[in-house]
Amino acid sequence: MSTRVAKRQSVMRKEPKQARSRVTVEAIVEAGARILAEEGWAGFTTNRIAEVAGVSIGSLYQYFPDKLALVDAIRHRHLNDSMEVMRRVRADGISPEQFATQLVAAVVAIHSIHPGLHRVLLDEAPTFEKYRDPHSDFEREYLTYYAEAVATFRKRAPNEADHVAGRVISDAIDGVIHNAARRGAVSDPMMQLELVRLVRSYLADDRYS
């Protein structure tokens, strides 16, 4: 993620509890994501976000004390959405090629929503220390997902070698997808095919059977 780390973390003023409040917050987060994608960090102002979301600036500040809190919510939503699409792709009962194809398609799809957003989140927007925490709940689930997939194709319960392999695969996918986002090439079909080939070849290596 971004190397610009904000040590002070802004958080939402309050969590929306009623349906109407949740709709308002979702509209604000979606507007913020669109602005980051289309106008970059420089265009990411609370007035502009409120305008695009169709809410008053007071409504925005009711939930978000500043734009750092909002960019944190945008980043958090992206991580949750990424994990959700990955949970739908399971290694059980399919071949390494099928798994790699489905997984790459899922990761590409989630990064194709507001494709310019990811470059800004990676290179322009400040981030918080929690997104560098290797022991966060997200990171543990994320890496365990890959380790379990590796172990499935090696026909055993996950062990330390599978966790290492899982980190290698996850870093490979992250690196390729995030650099493609920086270049505006997430939708490049050749990039996707090569990434599938990389993951499939690694998982299908019979030395680990």
Hey, CA dihedral for 98, 103, 106, 111, is it positive or negative? negative
CB 49 within 8 A of CB 8: no
Q: Give 128's strand partners.
A: 6
pLDDT value for 156:
94
Question: Helix %, strand %, coil % for the chain, to 5?
Answer: 70, 0, 30
pLDDT for 3-19, tens place per residue?
334 444 556 666 766 78
Q: Give the pLDDT of residue 1.
A: 37
Work out whether strand 127-128 and strand 5-6 pair parallel, antiparallel, or are unpaired.
Answer: parallel
The predicted-structure confidence for 31-70, as pLDDT tens digits, reads as follows 999 999 999 999 999 999 999 999 999 999 999 999 999 9
pLDDT (average), residues 159-175:
95
Mean per-residue pLDDT, 158-171: 95
What pLDDT shows up at residue 208?
53
> How far does CA 13 lie from the centroid of its chain?
24
**CA separation for the pair 85, 68 (Å, rounded):** 26
Angle at 127 between CA 122 and CA 128, to 5 degrees: 145
Distance (Å, whole) CA 76 – CA 84? 12
Please choose, from the candidates 173, 143, 174, 175, the residue with its C-alpha nearest in 3D space to the C-alpha of residue 158: 143
Q: What is the DSSP string of 120-171?
A: HHHHTS-EEGGGG-TTSHHHHHHHHHHHHHHHHHTTS---HHHHHHHHHHHH
CA distance 198 to 194: 6
Of the two residues 206 and 196, the one the predictor is more confident about is 196
